[in-house]
Structure 1
């Protein structure tokens, strides 16, 4: 999927919502455990309930890897079930030496046919470039994350006073373009989103941290939106675990609709 197609989805749905499919067998409603593939059945009902409001789905690969071969099968079935016009993200956080990254890229872009993958930049250009060689696919590079431990390294400053995340942004901006690279920027740091946007004005951001982690959607839009929206705001637990009984999908639909309506207002205000 190219940038134009992604922006058209945002315009058509008046939404920049990404739904994270962090599907945990210990958290899904108990009646689904009787299904042949509980993970896929849960995902299927979540997708059916939220597809009108979401422009992206983001399976967190760890939740599927942990289940072994059955998990990979559930992941592939989920990916094939997602409507073709909706942007897909493999939240895998890969990044290794060049020949290994090439195989990771082949796995997620060719074998499984995801539109994008999250990538860790800290091994440098040769660990990221292989992912950028696939036409129509995207790298989503970790820049400034929302977890508590992010300050251990990402905010560490050089002698010149430049935080490491800024160095990552400036350097990686030379590797890809706004047509094939996005950045992960956490929603819990509103003022930092503004700093990132100054360095990479045209790129899309994947923004975690809204909802369960306390990030403000209003601040994300105020500081992060650009002329093409430039945002995919993710909600995982806040949507998929909004309910825990047989009506879980309807509860998820209600939460997704609520976020979509907020996003519609923000798009009209800032776009």
Structure 2
């Protein structure tokens, strides 16, 4: 199953998920000036980042909003990026956060698990109800695809809904996590995790320890590292023996070249070094936890 591929890749390359949230202003001016259209500009930058980090990244997350905002050319760059990741035999997560029902959800599933926008995993928002997840499940079962379902996120607004308590003093995000875990039991890989993973913000370490114990079969996509305040120590709470999750970093990797005097000339190498730094920081903490 696809989750076994991701699990084994984490074992070999570490926990880093490179976020290709590529805004035009992130791209070195020399590249922007050398291309007549947005599509080629975005894709060249993405391709260099992918080539440079391939040996140190577990997977790549492409946030579709950055590409939709650039219109047709942006979506062409999005499609080319996904295909390039596949050609490199790497794994992709389409960060689309869809959440709708019936035929609409079926069309979203078809759009992002087939054709021009095909990816290995997609992110989904279940807070409209779990019938929003059902149309994606045939792809998980029959087409070797995976899901990362929002459970508890790292933004401040998460407390508006996700932290609402029931009469039994159970937080809503715990109920969602339990449901994801339960549905996921039908789609288990040999690695002990399900192809139904969860998006789990890393900025609350004590909660992370409890959630990791409760959601033993849920593989985590972990945002919140770096720019949002999460640390390697925070990350370790969400892992189990150094695996069980991938840690997304977008701006920290894409803009690493801005911290170097000659970074413009080697932005790909700067991205690679940042990726390795994050990987090694997490690995060091995880090894200390095991010892």
TM-score range with shorter-chain normalisation?
A: over 0.9
Q: Which of structure 1's runs of 4+ aligned residues deviate more than 3 A?
A: 266-271
Q: Structure 2 CA distance, aligned partners of 1:100 and 1:160?
A: 35
1:3 aligned residue: 3
Q: Does 1:249 align with 2:268?
A: yes
Does 1:31 pair with 2:34? no
Say if 1:45 and 1:265 are closer, same or farther in 2 by CA, change over 3 A: same
Shift of 1:3: 2.3
Contact 1:16 1:232 in 2 (8 A): yes
Distance in 1 of aligned mates of 2:108 and 2:69:
18
More helix by share: 2
- 2:69 pairs with 1:55: no
Tell me how far 1:144 sits from its aligned partner. Answer: 0.6
Residue 159 (structure 1) shift: 2.2
Query: Once the 2 structures are TM-superposed, how far is the Cα of residue 86 of structure 1 from its aligned partner?
Result: 2.0
* Alpha-carbon distance in structure 2 between the residues aligned to 1:267 and 1:115: 27
Residue segments in structure 2 that go unaligned for 5+ positions in a row: 186-192, 259-263
Q: Is the 8 A contact 1:95 1:120 kept in 2?
A: yes
Please tell me whether the aligned partners of residues 31 and 246 of structure 1 are also in contact (alpha carbons under 8 angstroms). Answer: no
What is the total number of aligned residue pairs between the two structures?
269
TM-score normalised by L of structure 2: 0.87
Provide the C-alpha distance between the structure 2 equivalents of 1:79 and 1:48, rounded to a whole number of angstroms. Answer: 13
- Alpha carbons of 1:145 and 1:20: their partners in 2 closer, same or farther (altered >3 Å)? same
Structure 1 residue 85 displacement after superposition: 3.3
Q: How does 1:220-231 map to 2 (within 5 A)?
A: 220-221=235-236, 223-226=237-240, 229-231=243-245
Q: Could you report, residue by residue, the CA deviation over 1:23-67 in whole angstroms, capped at 9, with x for unpaired residues?
A: 001222111113241111110111111111001100101001111
Q: Is 1:210 the equivalent of 2:225?
A: yes
5+ residue gaps in structure 1? none
